Structure 1
Amino acid sequence: MCENSDLELAVKGLPGKIAAGSGWRQFSLNVYNSSDKDVSDVYYFAGASFDKDGMELIKSRQVTLQAYNEELNTWDDLVDQEGNAVGYVGESSKIEAGYEVDIKLRLNVKASAPAGTAFTLGAGFYTGDEDCSGFADVSYKFEIVPAGTNTVGTEPQEGGKAPVPSEKPTESTVPAVTGALAETGSSSTMPMFALAGGAAVALGVGAMFVVRRRQAGSEA
């Protein structure tokens, strides 16, 4: 029988305005299981679009997204078969109650990207358990500004929908995600901007977990 659980989803580390041609900017996706139930077979994704509904996908040649592969110690492009900046960034066989995962991401707004254009960057997850499934995402609106513009102190606006890859991944095509230690009772990566909490997902029986348990008094 399926039961609901809360996975808290957050993105942090990016300003609200990003200058074209300013190089790589690193940020992170954090997923924290604040419930007392385990969540199994969790797949994480990220993507960028010009519209708030996550449908008008941005080409990777304009805004390049990459995810850090913990298994190979490499940065991998997030790009689909049409050259769009969207893809899966990792998977966890199980997130136990009170555990969390952190996924390193980065983006590069190319010099050719149109200044003055707004775009939506989103990330999310879905659970692929055979008996139960669930989905949640969080997204933010950013503005591409001319090269040399000071973007310090700007913050993105929450809203919209995260672009979703058109094909579901398999364990053989998506790297396993390791976790980070944090203080007990709350996410170690409370975002620079809003947190998407209370994402109802389904639970099932998991395999070997790939995240580490939180420990009291430790730091991320």
Structure 2
Amino acid sequence: MKIRRILATTIAAAVTTPALLLSVTPSFADDKPAAQTQNKPSVAELEKAAAAAKVAYEAAVAAEDAAMAALKVALSDTTPLAVAAKAAEAAAAEAATAKTAADQAVLDARAAVDALPETATEEEKTAAAAKLTEAESTARTAAETKAAADAKAVEAQTARDDERVAAARQLSQARKATEAALAAKTAADEALAKAKEEEGDDEDGEACVPEAKLTTIVTGLPSTVVAGTKVHFNLRVTNGTDKTMDEVLPFAYVHATDKSGLKSIDDLVHLQWSSASSSKWKTVDNEHYMDAISPLKAGAHADVKMRLTIDTSAPAGNGVTFVAGDYFNDNGTCGGSPDLEGYEFLIAAAGSKPGKVDDAKPSTTKPNTSDLKPQSGTSASPVSGSLAATGSSTATSQLALASGTAVAIGAGAVFLARRRKAGSHA
């Protein structure tokens, strides 16, 4: 079975259980590809996963339709809260009319008192004063009534509007769930199709194999990157085997979202590379590969300089950089690192001052880098440090990052799908 099949299975699992991808759960145990092969999912199992993704998508569509219907009802004038709000508005308007009339009566009564002639009798003066007092009392009552009616109207309107806003939010969440379910279904379908294709390829050619001793390690990537800045870090590719690899292709992919974890901002993050053989900065290609290292001798490593740029307009959020590598030999054999090493980092808004921050740490199993020789022939220092998950992002944003990554990687990071044929990668 070729490595493409295995990684396709990983992607299918990730979109069904997104936390798997963020933790970069190995598709098979290090140094034990033969034993792990016994547990690889079959095409039938992938068909079940694709069927489950289809059911989930159909359920999400139904939920979105229901949410749309609920919003239409909430926006109508016939809901109990809408009827209550309308009645309260009418009562407030009636109270306002009564207050206006009462205020006018006070003005009229006061004018009558002021208009009494000097020849007015005490009885006339007393009667005019009594009318003014009564008008003022009525006006105070009208003002209190209006204030109470206005408060009830505001309360009723708020309740109605809250119901409508809640319905709108429910629809928005349902739409996002539908988009995620569609992405998961698409990725699962593609994983199944690749597995079936791979099953056919196995009959015709030599399979690529997982090689846990081909490792990729990132150093110098900050755990927090400020929007509007560029950060430089290093990608080290190490051949920990006892055989030369004729060509090694480094792989790198960056995925980012806003703080909610629901909105991808991949178009605002940019990844470039350069190396000793190519000092000019180049953008990582649309398949997330860099130029081949030819050859990479047994026990040797090669370094690739990386540069991550985040646009100033990028919001605060979360990011993850995945790295891996695959190899192709002149004799037709091929394979690659079985895991995607994920390095999580926070994105701080432009102008932020995060101060001194630690380097991002990988989330997969620590590789063995001792006793290795650099590609140049000089000695190499073993890479060490804690490789536990950083915990830099919330559970919600982690799941969203994983789900988005599963979809994006589904097309580009099933990266050992190609076999070397006649000196080219097909």
Is TM (by shorter chain) over 0.5? yes
Q: How far off is 1:138 after superposition? A: 1.2
Q: Identify the residue that residue 99 of structure 1 maps to in structure 2.
A: 300
RMSD: 3.2
Gaps of 5+ in 1: 81-85, 161-177, 196-200, 202-220
TM-score, normalization: structure 1? 0.62
Which of 211, 222, 231 is 1:25 aligned to? Answer: 231
Higher strand share: 1
Q: How big is each residue's C-alpha offset from its partner over 1:130-153, in whole Å with a ceiling of 9 and x where there is no partner? A: 233233431111110122222413
The SS at the match of 1:31 is strand
Which of 273, 280, 283 is 1:67 aligned to? Answer: 273
Structure-2 separation of matches of 1:17 and 1:67? 20
Which of 98, 115, 120 is 2:320 aligned to? Answer: 120
Q: How big is each residue's C-alpha offset from its partner over 1:45-70, in whole Å with a ceiling of 9 and x where there is no partner? A: 2111137xxxx97534x111111154
Q: How far off is 1:128 after superposition? A: 2.8
Gaps of 5+ in 2: 1-205, 258-262, 365-373, 389-415, 417-426
State yes or no: 1:148 paired with 2:341: no
The verdict on how the C-alpha distance between 1:192 and 1:153 changes in structure 2, with shifts beyond 3 A counting, is farther
State yes or no: 1:90 paired with 2:291: yes
Which of 202, 220, 240 is 1:13 aligned to? Answer: 220
Amino acid at match of 1:159: S
Q: How far off is 1:99 after superposition? A: 1.3
Amino acid at match of 1:33: N
Structure-2 separation of matches of 1:72 and 1:36? 27
Q: How far off is 1:92 after superposition? A: 1.8
Q: How big is each residue's C-alpha offset from its partner over 1:147-196, in whole Å with a ceiling of 9 and x where there is no partner? A: 22224133424338xxxxxxxxxxxxxxxxx944442xxx436266649x
Percent identical: 24
Higher relative contact order (CA 8 A, sep 6+): 1
The verdict on how the C-alpha distance between 1:112 and 1:157 changes in structure 2, with shifts beyond 3 A counting, is same
Which of 128, 133, 141 is 2:335 aligned to? Answer: 133
TM-score, normalization: structure 2? 0.34
Amino acid at match of 2:297: E
Amino acid at match of 1:17: T
The verdict on how the C-alpha distance between 1:50 and 1:152 changes in structure 2, with shifts beyond 3 A counting, is same
Larger radius of gyration: 2
Check the 8 A contact 1:13/1:192 in 2, yes or no: no
Paired residues, number: 164
